[in-house]
Amino acid sequence: MVPPLVLDIDGTLTDADGHLDPRAFEVLPAWDAPVILATGKAFPYPVSLCHYLGLPQTVIAENGGVVLADGEVTFTGDREAAQAAADEFVARGGDLGWDAADTANRWRETEIIARLNADEALLRAVADEFDVEVIDTGFAYHIKTPGVEKGVGLERVCETMDYDPEDFVAVGDSVNDASTFRVAGRSYAVANADDVAKEAADTVLDRSYMDGTLSVLDSLREEDAA
């Protein structure tokens, strides 16, 4: 049997331009074990992706702040604290970088994000004052509750499944995947991963983005067939 998967989205199931690789529609629906999408994106994104991929809606969103498993949604991040820090950041002259629609944050339940061209020093200083943290995922600055992580989300999902976290194979590319790598049985960082993810992973792949992810899935299928 192939193992269950926990997969990041951006940088892992996408190409270098951030577009979903169409090969995901070929391999993931056919995977003969659970597939969990674990992302820093707002909650609706992985839910929607599961729908279009034809996967059960089991997701870890907003860096572990929101978990959907077995038809139940749980929240662990504090959106109000993150919003208060973001508001103070703007009040002191900072700019989150989004337009009036702010689709980056509009549907977030547990955190706030800013573009990478935001004033990082000011953002981190304000975050410290509000007892929240800032992580740089390479796609945005995430203002979030300390201790809320994808790895904790995976442990919560496993409470509803006949699997333990160490049964899972994880693939990712960013600092926010390191906690998943620590609890999963096997972990792979794609070649485009940041240094934190590479250090936390069991294996650093030679290939980037979806090419790297597919190389893992191919090897797992070969193991299963052996």
198 among annotated binding-site residues: no
Phi, psi of 143 (to 5 degrees): -95, 115
User: Which residue ranges of the chain lie beneath pLDDT 70?
Assistant: none
User: Helix axis angle, 120-129 relative to 79-91, nearest 10°?
Assistant: 130
Q: 99: annotated binding-site residue?
A: no
- β-bridge partners, 113: 142
Instruction: List, as one string, the DSSP characters of 82-103.
Output: HHHHHHHHHHTT------TT-T
Contacts of 161 (CB under 8 A, 6+ apart): 34, 69, 70
Q: Known catalytic residues?
A: 8
Using left for φ > 0, alpha for ψ between -120 and 50, and beta otherwise, residue 87 falls in alpha
> Residue 8, annotated ligand binder?
yes
Q: Is 164 annotated as a binding residue?
A: no
Q: Is 211 annotated as a binding residue?
A: no
Q: What is the pLDDT of residue 192?
A: 98
Residue 85: count other Cβ atoms within 10 Å of its Cβ.
23
Report yes or no on whether pTM surpasses 0.75.
yes
pLDDT of residue 27: 97
What pairing do the DSSP bridges indicate for beta strands 66-69 and 59-61? antiparallel
What is the pLDDT, as a whole number, of residue 76? 93
Strand order of the β-sheet with 66-69 is 72-75, 66-69, 59-61, 35-38, 5-7, 169-172, 186-189, 203-204
Percent of the chain whose predicted confidence (pLDDT) is above 70: 100
